[in-house]
Amino acid sequence: MKICFIDTWTLGLGNFFPIHNELKKIGIESLLIHTSSFDGLGGLKNEEIIKGITCRDVRYYNTKLVHKALEVEKPDVVLNLTSFYLLDRAINLSCKSLNIRSVFLTPGIREINVNYINDIEYNHRFKHLNKKRLSKAIKYLKYIIPNYFYSIIKYNFIYIFHYNPWRALIELFINPGRKMMYPTPTKEIHADKALVFADGYKTFFENIYEYPPQNIFCVGNPKLDRVFNLVSSPPSKKEIEDFQLYNNLPHSKKFITYLSSPFVESGYEGWSSEFRLNEYKKLEKVCSNNDYHLIIKLHPAMFGDKLLSQYSSESNHVTIIKETDTQLLVYQSDGVLGHSSSTLLIPIIYKTPIIIIKWESCSFVNDRFSEYDLTRVSKDSGDLNDYLNEIDTIKNELLINTKREKFIKEYIKFEDDQSLNRIINQLTEW
């Protein structure tokens, strides 16, 4: 059996590593096909091995068509982290024509508040894409649309005359900000299986994407397996000391971990590398004034920001971390700052205080946990200072929070370390 991971780049490999390793244990081959070359980045390798995973850009196969790459590899299953983009439609259609099983795995928290999506997320996160449609035209005309129509032809030539493909293109051109993430429901965006964390997401996929209920499977969040494992089997003192030494963390000082979001890389209005750095310095100042060291855990999309690397080397009150055992990092943290990252589920399990940063620069952030009393919301540096002063009180309130169980039931579901195993079972059992 062979399983093919598909992604737009190699920076998302963190989602595939655990799956690859488990598949290898049971003798199943897996590799990544990615489309980094579609973005015209220089210095890309057609093939490389990253942490044991063979990674091949689509041009490795002397083509720009994912369909032809799949024809060469002949996988039994394709695993994708998205299912609603135009290229995802092409992949789904190619899988049908090549008799390959298609699986969508949700990589993180999804926004499911429809009112927030319509009123705020669209205007702050996606609307700017409408202004950039022409800048993406070359990529779409040269790569994405040819992939889409080639897959359609291979799937069913007559389907090219159906209104669905043309509606998809027209809607995407008119309103890319909305239709990239929330396309008009169609079977094209449905993989054979959609693997989601819990029932709250299952309901969302049924209502918004019109996924057939029988195609959706709740598997839990594999990134929480390690969290539940640490809860049941706490790390030793030596393990913590070794971790702190390796990551250059302070040994004798309390620290706050900031689980960052890539607002610059996502194109949020007003955000630049320089602006972000100034915002981080404000966070640092508040933490330092309260005798906390600030740890900034970067999102993979932010790894290339040279200003952040320089900032870390110049300040004694900040440590910036790229790749690490995030679950163990949060385990040791006195509190967590963040916006909407999937990693915020980790402190919820640990009952660690979470402060959602909704300053003027990021007032658009949705506190997804507000109705469950799991977080505090900071709107400026003044109230952040107050919250850091009250960390112990906030933690005690979390220990007796009765709404937490409801959140876990709806959005986490499985309180064990078996989510990865459930994913493997869904990939290998048909």
pLDDT tens-digit profile of 286-299?
A: 999 999 999 999 99
Bridge-based pairing state of the strands 101-105 and 77-80:
parallel
pLDDT bucket at 76, cuts 50 / 70 / 90: very high
Q: What is the pLDDT, as a whole number, of residue 86?
A: 94
How many residues are present in the chain? 430
Distance CA 379, CA 361 (A): 10
Of 159-168, 260-269, 274-283, the range with the lowest mean pLDDT is 260-269
Distance CA 278, CA 295 (A): 16
What would the CATH number be for the domain defined by 2-220+417-428?
A: 3.40.50.2000
Question: Alpha helix (H) ranges present in 61-198?
Answer: 66-73, 86-97, 114-116, 128-131, 137-139, 145-155, 163-174, 176-179
- With tokens 């996502």, the residue in question is 266
Give mean pLDDT, residues 80-107: 96
The whole-chain average pLDDT of the chain stands at: 92
User: Side by side, which strands form the sheet with 53-57?
Assistant: 47-50, 53-57, 29-34, 2-7, 77-80, 101-105, 193-196, 216-218
The separation between CA 347 and the C-alpha centre of its own chain, rounded to angstroms, equals 17
Pick the residue with more confidence: 341 or 25? Answer: 25
Q: What is the pLDDT, as a whole number, of residue 412?
A: 95
Q: What is the pLDDT, as a whole number, of residue 42?
A: 66
- Same fold across 2-220+417-428 and 224-411: yes
Q: What is the pLDDT, as a whole number, of residue 294?
A: 96
With vertex at residue 261, the alpha carbon angle to CA 255 and CA 266, rounded to the nearest 5 degrees, is 160
Question: What are the two backbone dihedrals, phi and then psi, of residue 321, each rounded to the nearest 5 degrees?
Answer: -120, 135
User: Is 224-411 assigned to CATH 3.40.50.2000?
Assistant: yes
Decide: residue 148, CB within 10 A, 0-12 exposed, 13-18 middle, 19+ buried: buried
* Nearest of 83, 76, 129, 132 to residue 106 by alpha carbon: 83
Question: What are the two backbone dihedrals, phi and then psi, of residue 387, each rounded to the nearest 5 degrees?
Answer: -65, -40
- pLDDT for 127 beyond 70: no
- Determine the number of helices (DSSP H) and then strands (DSSP E) in the chain: 20, 14
Q: What is the pLDDT, as a whole number, of residue 370?
A: 84
CA distances from 214 to 95, 97, 190, 211 (A): 19, 21, 12, 8
Q: What is the pLDDT, as a whole number, of residue 116?
A: 67
Of 6-15, 87-96, 99-108, 193-202, the range with the lowest mean pLDDT is 6-15
pLDDT bucket at 79, cuts 50 / 70 / 90: very high
Which sequence spans correspond to the domains of the chain? Answer: 2-220+417-428, 224-411
Give mean pLDDT, residues 77-87: 94
Q: What is the pLDDT, as a whole number, of residue 121?
A: 67
Residues of 269-303 as b/e, b for ≥16 C-beta within 10 angstroms? eebeeeebeebbeebbebbeebebbbbbbbbbbbe
CA distances from 255 to 92, 333, 390, 402 (A): 45, 6, 14, 27
Distance CA 65, CA 167 (A): 22
Question: What are the two backbone dihedrals, phi and then psi, of residue 195, each rounded to the nearest 5 degrees?
Answer: -100, 115
- With tokens 């008119």, the residue in question is 174
Distance CA 186, CA 206 (A): 12
* Nearest of 36, 30, 28 to residue 52 by alpha carbon: 30
